[in-house]
Amino acid sequence: MTDTVLDDRVAALHRRYGARAAQRAAEHIGPEVWNEVLALQLAHRSVRTFLPEPVSEEHLRAIVAAASSAASSSNLQLWSVIAVTDRERLARIAPLAGDQAVVRNAPLLLVWVADLARAARLAQQHGKDLVNAGYVESALLGVVDAALAAQNATLAAESLGLGAVYIGALRNHPRELAAELNLPDHSFAVVGQVVGHPDPDAAPEVKPRLGQDVVLHREQYAAENTDDGVAAYEAEIAEFYREQGLAESWVARVLSRFSAPGAFGSREALRDALQERGFRLD
């Protein structure tokens, strides 16, 4: 194992975890297990500025092939993806997703869909009633399948030299988005994903994550063992946020999202929208 590979491993862990947590991780992730896939995964970052160059059909097909290779519960494959490149359609979708420039200017917007409509169509063709589609479990099956497919797609895109960013704001106005994309009943958009060629002049940094002393538990969940790690991460991420010109507290971000009334905005009515689309969430 060369010093270059060793240095790459330590540098990647440092970018992902920050100095303190990276040192601990490096003690357990030795050079003997380091490889190109791990390096690519640890280098993930959200890209929000892209070159105008379109994503080729070959790249799109390869990305979808990777998505199709993700795990699927019982091989039900309860997901679909809609590739959007039409400028006028993107201009209509952008206001439904926080009016983000990255959506309006997207070289390619992938909309990952929890899709039980295919099952509903099969049931109709075979004279069956879709009696189990209304359970929470059914919705979760579709969401998990779509999320796993989307993450495979991200890794594939990055392996091709592309960049990507998820767009959760596509859930802000699910009824209007469903109409724009002609989504059938028993389907809903889980998340968007902009894909394209990253602008080299606006390369984002890797964002530090919680250390493994916070997220990795042994045998049983042990919340009392995570406080020190969370405090250390709060200090670590503050420096990153400061450099990005953002509010410095990660803890404040979590609390503002989950303890401030109205923080979810229009998404607080998401249950009603899903029920209208055939997901009773029983």
pLDDT digits (tens, 9 = 90+) for 174-186: 999 999 999 999 9
Domain 57-202+260-276: CATH class, spelled out: alpha beta
Structure tokens, 117: 């409509």
- The rounded Cα 281 to chain-centroid distance in angstroms is 23
Query: Residue 267's Cα: distance from chain center in Å?
Result: 17
Strand partners, 50: 198
Query: Which of helix, strand or coil describes residue 95?
Result: helix
SS3 (DSSP) at 34 = coil
DSSP secondary structure code for residue 205 in this structure: P
Q: Which stretch of DSSP H or E encloses residue 178?
A: helix 174-181
Amino acid at 259: S
Strand partners, 115: 187
Domain ranges of the chain: 1-43, 57-202+260-276
Please choose, from the candidates 46, 51, 50, 6, the residue with its C-alpha nearest in 3D space to the C-alpha of residue 26. 6
| Burial zone of 88 (CB within 10 Å; 0-12 exposed, 13-18 middle, 19+ buried) | exposed
Reading the chain (282 residues) residue by residue, the pLDDT tens digits are: 455 555 889 899 999 998 877 778 888 888 899 999 999 999 999 999 999 999 999 999 999 999 999 999 999 999 999 999 999 999 999 999 999 999 999 999 999 999 999 999 999 999 999 999 999 999 999 999 999 999 999 999 999 999 999 999 999 999 999 999 999 999 999 999 999 999 999 989 999 999 999 999 999 999 999 999 999 999 999 999 998 899 989 999 999 999 999 999 999 999 999 999 999 998
Q: What are 49's two structure tokens?
A: 């500025």
Residue from 186, 160, 192 nearest 173 by CA: 192
pTM of the predicted model, to two decimals? 0.94
Amino acid at 162: L
